[in-house]
Structure 1
Amino acid sequence: MSIDGTVNVDVGAAFYSASQGGLTIGSTGVVNVYSANTSNVFTGNGIIVNGSLTVASGAFLETTNGLNVSSSGTATINGNFFAENGNVSGSGNILVNGGSIYNTTDGTAGGAKTGVAFTGTNTITIENGATIYSNGSGTATINFGATNGAANSLIVTGSGGTFTTPITNFGAGDQIAFAGYTNPVTAPTVTSNGNGSYSVVLTGSGVTLSNVKFTSAITAQITSNGNGTVNVPGITDSTNPNDQLGECFLPGTAIATPHGAALVETLQPGDLVTTIVQGAPVAKPVKWVGYRHVKPGDLIDDSAHPVRIKANAFADGVPARDLLITSEHCILAGGGLIPARLLVNGRSIISDTSISSFTYYHVELADHAILLAEGLAVESYLDTGNRGNFANAPVPSLRPALAVRISAPHEAQPAAPILVTPGSVKPVWEALNERAGILGLRRSVAAPALTYDADLHLVTAKGAVVLPLRLTADKAWFVLPEGTETVSLVSRTARPCDTIAAYIDDRRALGVSVGEIKLHIGSNVILTTSHLSATDLAGWHAVEGPSHRWTSGRAELRLPKTARAATGILEVNILQAGPYIADVSPERAVAA
């Protein structure tokens, strides 16, 4: 069947060409597919485009024998194009503008997405959040275009080998993900091909991208390592054992959908995902997919690295393979949602400090829900006021820090209670830790030696160190030099989550808990309690009660004016100290 005029396939309509041997769009022909939620099936010899083919946003086009765009033709895919076991070929230009091109594993529209063979000499430009699936073969050029805040994605399916398809204009925010690749990356290397293109070897994974051209901004920053390889910002400076290279290459967490697993970065608004409601699977549409890239220095403490949940950590096949999530991402366990950081045991669940540059995604539904990631029940995105943390948020923040989420706004209620107290989390932690032992998993890092020695001392305004005159279990006495106005009470610090267990939801660096402070001058005793209430003293944590307050390791003490003219004895009541990590001590100046 040949078309030389204009054909519009409107909403609710279906266009079939089964008996005419496929569809040919002549050089003056125009076909616009507007239909939404309807299969527009072209069979026989597929579609040959010598004129113009446009698939509108939200529309769905299917062909049983591929798409051929000639040098005089153009194809614009704003919606979804299902190749149904066919190839994409020809020599004309194809623009995928926020849409997708894919095949499926079972040849049906609802099957799990897989790669297409791009066998022509076409230039296929993907822009504004577009996603295309490649089976790893082909000669067409994949060109990364503009973005609107959503990443442009090339998903490569297979099991390894050399990917020869030319890739051009690859830059920050773009991504290449690998589905079906099980071997981890140990050391990505890049070498110049001498013609402006580069070969990227994902060492350990069996994957080589042999023809990659970067954006001019990245190319200008490429430097030689002096050994035949080059350093590419965002790639070689960010080794990741999960097929992720800095901000660019993502491993692809498998999210359960009614049609099989889908990579999280390929999900789009309107896609159906599988949620768990009262123990049963229920399909619900995606509302929004947020993403953000994190590089060293953006975040601190636990948020600076993802949490790795090893395969089988919760049960056999749960998760099905190692799962990486952010430390605040909640897991359904123990009757509620528990932040991943509270379950870290150093064995089956670890904070992966080898990864300091990564991109994370959150999937939002109409309501907070439970998803299956690699078979593990985890939460969907819950808007607690941090939407601005994401790169594609309506108003993104500039280098925002991740806030600890304890409760949600009234209008964004969690799908299950959020559990953070030791009483509710400890039983889950202990069960997972016991299972890690059964699995034969050892600590990735040896448990640190602990001490209750606070290494307590004073430091004067001039930097002199004053060691204790006397120490007991709950008190310390110091001789103050004459004229002292302020001193700092210095000690070791430790976070209870590090020295006791991760299920202790206290990430503060605690020094010592201080009660009363007395200043002895001759026979006079001056009681000072300003440290228990003053909000402008440096080195103190927030006031918790009227009788004690924790220091943060270097706490400022202001002495009464009446005591500054004479030498005195400072008596400090220490209510609690430690445990601390033994090999971490405060720095000292010169002893007084």
Structure 2
Amino acid sequence: MATNITGTWSAVLNDKGETVYQSGTTIQEGPVQLVGGATLYVTSGATAAGVSNSGNIPNIIVYSGGTLLSSTITNGYVSALQGATTSGNVFNSDPAYYFSGAQSIGDSYYAGGGYGADTAYFSAGSIVTNATTSAGGPMIFYSGATVNGVTVSSGGVVTFSAGSVVSGLNIQPGGSAFISTIVGAPVNSAPVMPTSGVTTVTGVWSAVLSGGKTIYKNAAGTAVEAPLRLSGGTLYIASGATVSGLLVLGGTPVVSVLNGGTLLNSQINNGYVYVDGGGIKSGNLLNSNPVRYSAGASSVNDIFLNSGYTADTVYALNGATLINPTISAGAPVVISSGATIIDPVVTSGGQLSIYGGTATTCFLAGAMIETPQGPCAVEALRAGQEVVVYRDDVRCVETVSRVCKARAIVENLHDDDMAGFPVRISAHSLGQNIPDRDLLVTAEHCLYFDGGFIPARMLVNGQSTRYAREYESYDYYHVELSRHGIICANNVLTESYLDTVTPLHDREGKGLTRYRSWASHGAAPLRVDRTFVEPIYNAVLARCGSEQTARDASDHDHGLYLVTDGGRRIEQRRRAGDQVLFALPPGVERVRFVSRRARPFDTLGPFVDDRRELGVLVGDITLYRPDGTHDIRTHLEQDALPGWDGAQGGDCRWTLGHATLPLDLPVQDDPALLSVRIVAAGPYCDRQVIRKHGLPDWRP
């Protein structure tokens, strides 16, 4: 049992080599609990283990040779001077200062229990090993600080200044990192461009594999070989093609690396670059280019910079991978949630932002939570405070177990529902005085209706419920109870925080990691099915004096065409009902289905919980050739087929707007007819991420 101490004490070594606590002539054995704002000095050779505190604001200073071990300090101050060590501690809402020569080993930094966020600062010469930070415990590493492993959990933020040395950075769902300069890894060398035999072209070209080598073709049938200079045109790098030594300069060029295409040792200046899933870039220099890496795209040893142009951002979206990039001034790189970055090098003036974000369910400041004493602002709630909870339609009182504050930064590249914008639920939008004032919540935060929870994003109508696009960043608050519950905010029934990220304790000792889930731990079912949500959506919309109308319901024109490996575009020859007929030239082994695409969530309404970007639903495909009639079933039988949605085991399958179809037949020198049955298409709209942000459409 810890002994309470107050006033000023020192942890010292006695004659037996044991650590004791001394204040004047009073000596006390450990462990100790600091009360009344006590101050503790940990002197050379002493190890202060199991220290805790109660009330007020304690102050702990660890001197050279001293160690603070396995302690829990809440709402105090911690300073580690040169040569000091802290190890295995939990720092809750503690400003922590590590000076040159100090080290932190296996410490955790966060803010909980209603205490505010506080920052841990690491000066030049300090060393951090296997630290963990979560909501409310941001860490800042200054030039010369060394990090050998840091895990950024949900809500955690780390910032690395120019000159800090980092390895073992682990961004978990909900964590973020902002990096200026990382020292200690070699900078990639710029590719050497060919100077002789270069052909300069403009217009639209495709790089294709022909006769075992890559050539460049345009729609007129002109073919040229490498090396190539593209001036103000567009280049599509098709599957199987490898482009090397490409110089892109002049005008506003566009380079699209399609699935299976490769771009090597090239230089692209002041254009746009899109890398599709399955596309590869390696050893390239990209000077002032907005770059977009889609899911499944990869970049190896690429250099991003700006020299004499406008600064442009590089985006790696969910599922993309960047390996050993060099990030220089004027070319900020943003790693979105679900993307991977390995061994980045950020040179002077460069900027790298990493978002491990996952869906957050929480309140913004100003939400008034119902308590037995009346409404209380969420930012003023504290652990241990009572709130009103509704269980089985019975009003009861329960204690808040945790209130966490974290910061969200909007990723504006994505659609509104996935960018991180909060949702504003206007006063009276759900009923008279419901809410009684505007309520701001995150998009995935749920509201309670008729026995079920509905995410706020599924009720957005652009009028009474809308995305608050004026926010670029904001603080949000989790209100957690001992178990998930229905609470009231601004007179709206809503949810407390359901933590599905933190593992549950392994009470049975089986070594299993278990997490909370809606199915097992939700206070009510999560309802995202259209039959439940749509009537509620319509009722909310009706209160605005509006009614639901079909969103571009008449716009089902898919615009389907084919593209061969040689880059040739093949338009529809005839359409009859659901059958579309294409005339194929001789020698075609594979085609790409290119069409418009849209998300049901956008075109039908947010009450449809389907955010896939879908092209056309393809049924039977028949190829007519001189050697007979052939049923093509590749799209129905091959699971991992680029550009197709997951195989459902039925007689049709959705494309994702740009789908590859191998014909899987011996090549013939005769033309052929390809008949495609389109089972469903659209409705479509123009609300695509690329166009919304003013970038050109990258599809051929």
Smaller-chain TM-score range? 0.5 to 0.7
1:533 aligns with 2:640: no
Match of 1:325? 441
Match of 1:349? 465
Q: Identify which of 563, 581, 604 aligns with 1:477.
A: 581
Distance 2:385 2:53 in 1: 11
Q: Secondary structure at the match of 1:148?
A: strand
- Please show how residues 36-435 of structure 1 align to structure 2 within 5 Å: 76=58, 98-99=74-75, 128-130=91-93, 148-150=109-111, 251-290=365-404, 292-297=406-411, 300-301=414-415, 302-305=417-420, 306-384=422-500, 386-387=501-502, 408=517, 412-435=520-543
- The offset of 1:174, in angstroms, is 9.8
- The offset of 1:300, in angstroms, is 4.9
Distance 1:145 1:250 in 2: 30
> For residues 528-560 of structure 1, what are the alpha-carbon distances to aligned partners after superposition, in whole Å with 9 as ceiling and x for unaligned?
112012111011111234111111101110012
Q: Identify which of 545, 549, 555 aligns with 1:437.
A: 545
130 and 437 in structure 1: CA distance in 2 versus 1, 3 angstrom threshold: farther
428 and 583 in structure 1: CA distance in 2 versus 1, 3 angstrom threshold: closer
- Residue type matched to 1:580 in 2? Y
Distance 1:28 1:262 in 2: 48
Distance 2:114 2:393 in 1: 33
Q: Secondary structure at the match of 1:321?
A: coil
Distance 1:303 1:57 in 2: 41
Distance 1:493 1:375 in 2: 40
- The answer to which of 420-429 and 353-362 deviates more is 353-362
Distance 2:366 2:25 in 1: 42
Q: Secondary structure at the match of 1:581?
A: coil
Q: Identify which of 574, 579, 589 aligns with 2:678.
A: 574
- The offset of 1:516, in angstroms, is 0.5
- The offset of 1:308, in angstroms, is 2.0
Distance 1:535 1:418 in 2: 30
Q: Secondary structure at the match of 2:109?
A: coil
Q: Identify which of 551, 555, 561 aligns with 2:655.
A: 551
TM-score, normalised via structure 2 length: 0.47
- The offset of 1:578, in angstroms, is 0.9
- The offset of 1:317, in angstroms, is 2.5
Distance 2:470 2:548 in 1: 17
Distance 1:154 1:268 in 2: 7
- The offset of 1:437, in angstroms, is 2.4
Distance 2:91 2:372 in 1: 26
Would the aligned equivalents of 1:151 and 1:173 in 2 still touch at CA under 8 Å?
no
Q: Secondary structure at the match of 2:466?
A: strand
Match of 1:468? 572
- The offset of 1:258, in angstroms, is 2.5
- Residue type matched to 1:433 in 2? L
Match of 1:112? none
Would the aligned equivalents of 2:93 and 2:112 in 1 still touch at CA under 8 Å?
yes
Distance 2:443 2:413 in 1: 11
Unaligned runs of 5+ in 2: 8-23, 27-31, 41-50, 61-72, 77-89, 99-107, 122-132, 137-158, 165-178, 181-331, 333-362, 506-514, 692-696
- Residue type matched to 1:332 in 2? Y
- The offset of 1:427, in angstroms, is 1.2
517 and 290 in structure 1: CA distance in 2 versus 1, 3 angstrom threshold: farther
487 and 387 in structure 1: CA distance in 2 versus 1, 3 angstrom threshold: farther
> For residues 28-48 of structure 1, what are the alpha-carbon distances to aligned partners after superposition, in whole Å with 9 as ceiling and x for unaligned?
99xxxx99xxxx9xxxxxx9x
- Residue type matched to 2:418 in 1? S
Distance 2:398 2:91 in 1: 25
381 and 217 in structure 1: CA distance in 2 versus 1, 3 angstrom threshold: same
> For residues 548-578 of structure 1, what are the alpha-carbon distances to aligned partners after superposition, in whole Å with 9 as ceiling and x for unaligned?
1111101110012235443211110000011
Percent identical residues: 34
> For residues 362-416 of structure 1, what are the alpha-carbon distances to aligned partners after superposition, in whole Å with 9 as ceiling and x for unaligned?
33222221111222111122244x348xxxx99xxxxxxxxxx9x9366x33111
257 and 564 in structure 1: CA distance in 2 versus 1, 3 angstrom threshold: farther
- The offset of 1:583, in angstroms, is 7.5
Would the aligned equivalents of 2:518 and 2:526 in 1 still touch at CA under 8 Å?
no
Aligned residues: 395
> For residues 127-182 of structure 1, what are the alpha-carbon distances to aligned partners after superposition, in whole Å with 9 as ceiling and x for unaligned?
95549xxxxxxxxxxx8979822279998xxxxxxxxxxx999xx9998xxxxxxx
- Residue type matched to 1:294 in 2? A
Q: Secondary structure at the match of 1:294?
A: strand
Q: Give the root-mean-square deviation of aligned CA atoms.
A: 5.1
Match of 2:563? 459
Distance 1:544 1:52 in 2: 65
Would the aligned equivalents of 1:338 and 1:425 in 2 still touch at CA under 8 Å?
yes
Would the aligned equivalents of 1:485 and 1:561 in 2 still touch at CA under 8 Å?
yes
Distance 1:570 1:457 in 2: 12
289 and 153 in structure 1: CA distance in 2 versus 1, 3 angstrom threshold: closer
1:490 aligns with 2:594: yes
- Please show how residues 8-23 of structure 1 align to structure 2 within 5 Å: none
Q: Secondary structure at the match of 1:327?
A: coil
Q: Secondary structure at the match of 2:602?
A: helix
359 and 423 in structure 1: CA distance in 2 versus 1, 3 angstrom threshold: same
- The offset of 1:588, in angstroms, is 5.1
268 and 77 in structure 1: CA distance in 2 versus 1, 3 angstrom threshold: farther
Would the aligned equivalents of 1:334 and 1:424 in 2 still touch at CA under 8 Å?
no
Match of 2:15? none
Q: Kindly report structure 1 stretches of 4+ aligned residues shifted beyond 6 Å.
A: 143-147, 151-155, 172-175, 446-450, 583-586
Would the aligned equivalents of 1:98 and 1:128 in 2 still touch at CA under 8 Å?
yes
TM-score, normalised via structure 1 length: 0.55
Match of 1:510? 614
- Residue type matched to 2:577 in 1? A
Distance 1:354 1:531 in 2: 44
- The offset of 1:497, in angstroms, is 1.4
Q: Secondary structure at the match of 1:368?
A: coil
299 and 544 in structure 1: CA distance in 2 versus 1, 3 angstrom threshold: farther
Distance 1:580 1:415 in 2: 37
Distance 1:564 1:287 in 2: 71
- The offset of 1:270, in angstroms, is 2.9
7 and 422 in structure 1: CA distance in 2 versus 1, 3 angstrom threshold: closer
- Residue type matched to 1:552 in 2? L
